A = this chain, B = another copy of it.
Amino acid sequence: MASRKEVAELAGVSEATVSRVLNGVGPIKEETKRKVLQASEQLGYVPSALARSFARSKSGNLGVVMPYVPKAHLFSAYFFSEMLSGIGNKARESGMDLLVMFRTPDEVMNYTDLFRRQKIDACIILGARDDPGELAALQQLQQEGHPFCVMNQHFAGQSFVEVDADHIKGSRQAIRHLTDQGYRKIAFLNGPDSYSNSQERLQGVQMGMQEAKMELDPSLLLEGNYSRRSGQEAAGHIANRLHEIDAVFAANDRMAIGVMHGLRERGIPVQDFPAFVGYDDSDAAEMAVPPLTSVRVPFYEMGELAARKLIDEKVGSPPANVSSLSSVSTRHLLPTELIVRASSIR
């Protein structure tokens, strides 16, 4: 393992010059540059990222906090992988590495320590919970001026940098798709109300209904927990009132598929199925029988956006912006898209 000193000697320059050449800073004579590069090459010199981080007191790592998922089974791994890839892509472009952390069930994440330990320079939180402990931790982060971004969860009344998809519009699209085809008796299987995501979907559904001069029948508003099983259970209600229901919109694909399963279990033939629309456009949607119409969420792009936000922020933008507008627009919503498949076509 060649050291920088050796390179400097071989090239006949000082160590500082070696640094400058390799980091491409400062004015350097072409000749010197060549010599250094050549010596470095010859000796197979690789600068230590560790020493560099230390000297700069920057780790060069972008932290990513993954939610706790019991053996990754509760939620689909699908969208976390997508987001992670998106983040990783942007991170690489700017020369940062990804430090991935898995949240444990109980433990209240101490985000600030992560920064103080200097393990990370910025942080993306995928599994933010909506409880007071979490909120406090995030507020502290913000107060100490650490760059971070929350994905998939909105904290009302805060000015956190947030990236999410536009679930209001997404749900509206789904409902419109159904009402446009003449479906009137629409059941909505939402996720737990504690997620901002679920609340937004509900808003979107209501808007969509209103646009069609209809209203969501409260007795057709069901709640699951985003698991397939909960969809399967909801199928009981739906089966009982099958004649009063001609379409089902579920807040994610897994629940939609769960409902289909539940109906099958109860011996209901496919031709008697209501129309189905799911959400997320995960792999499962196209594998479903019948293939499931679903609201596509640009998880990959969301990951990219979140990473970019943080990287830009860190790089050089002045902390104080011209107008206070910026504090209003810390939430970034990406558009969804309805992917129509057989499950929802008359």
- Taking CB atoms and an 8 Å cut-off, the chain A residues in 56-74 that contact chain B are 57, 59, 61, 64, 66, 69, 71-73
Nearest chain B CB to A330 CB, angstrom units: 26
Closest to A63 in B: B97
For A78, what are the chain B residues with a Cβ–Cβ distance below 8 Å?
A: 72, 77-78
Nearest chain B CB to A311 CB, angstrom units: 16
Closest to A97 in B: B99
Closest to A113 in B: B46
**A contacts with B: majority SS:** helix
For A71, what are the chain B residues with a Cβ–Cβ distance below 8 Å?
A: 82, 85, 300
- Contact indicator per residue, chain A 24-63, by CB within 8 Å of chain B (1) or not (0): 0000000000000000000000111111011001010100
Flag if A287 contacts B288 (CB, 8 Å).
yes
For A129, what are the chain B residues with a Cβ–Cβ distance below 8 Å?
A: none
CA distance A254 to B113 in the complex (A): 42
CA distance A26 to B94 in the complex (A): 42
Cβ of A81 < 8 Å from any Cβ of B?
yes
Q: Which of A115-123, A170-178, A215-223 contacts B (4 or more CB under 8 A)?
A: A115-123
Cβ of A88 < 8 Å from any Cβ of B?
yes
- Taking CB atoms and an 8 Å cut-off, the chain A residues in 89-138 that contact chain B are 89, 92, 97-102, 104, 113, 116-119
Q: Looking at A85, A101, A286, which has the most chain B CB atoms within 10 Å of its CB?
A: A85
Flag if A50 contacts B54 (CB, 8 Å).
yes
For A84, what are the chain B residues with a Cβ–Cβ distance below 8 Å?
A: 100
CA distance A287 to B278 in the complex (A): 14
Return the contact of A289 from the options B47, B113, B286, B289 (Cβ within 8 A).
B289
Known: A77-B82, A98-B101, A100-B100. A50 touches B57 (CB 8 A): yes
Nearest chain B CB to A197 CB, angstrom units: 20
Flag if B257 contacts A287 (CB, 8 Å).
yes
For A185, what are the chain B residues with a Cβ–Cβ distance below 8 Å?
A: none
Flag if B49 contacts A117 (CB, 8 Å).
yes
Nearest chain B CB to A45 CB, angstrom units: 9
Closest to A117 in B: B49
Nearest chain B CB to A204 CB, angstrom units: 25
Flag if A118 contacts B49 (CB, 8 Å).
yes
Flag if B69 contacts A85 (CB, 8 Å).
yes
Nearest chain B CB to A276 CB, angstrom units: 13
CA distance A289 to B290 in the complex (A): 9
- Contact indicator per residue, chain A 242-265, by CB within 8 Å of chain B (1) or not (0): 000000000000100100110010
Flag if A50 contacts B49 (CB, 8 Å).
no
Cβ of A9 < 8 Å from any Cβ of B?
no
For A48, what are the chain B residues with a Cβ–Cβ distance below 8 Å?
A: 57, 116-118
Q: Hey, which bits of chain A sit against chain B, CB under 8 A?
A: 1, 46-51, 53-54, 57, 59, 61, 64, 66, 69, 71-73, 76-78, 80-82, 84-85, 88-89, 92, 97-102, 104, 113, 116-119, 228, 254, 257, 260-261, 264, 283-284, 286-289, 300
Q: List 13 A-B contacts (CB under 8 A).
A: A49-B118, A49-B119, A50-B50, A50-B59, A51-B118, A64-B100, A72-B78, A76-B283, A85-B102, A88-B101, A97-B99, A100-B100, A254-B287
Given A1-B116, A80-B81, A228-B287, 6 additional A-B pairs, CB 8 A: A49-B59, A72-B82, A78-B78, A84-B100, A85-B102, A284-B287
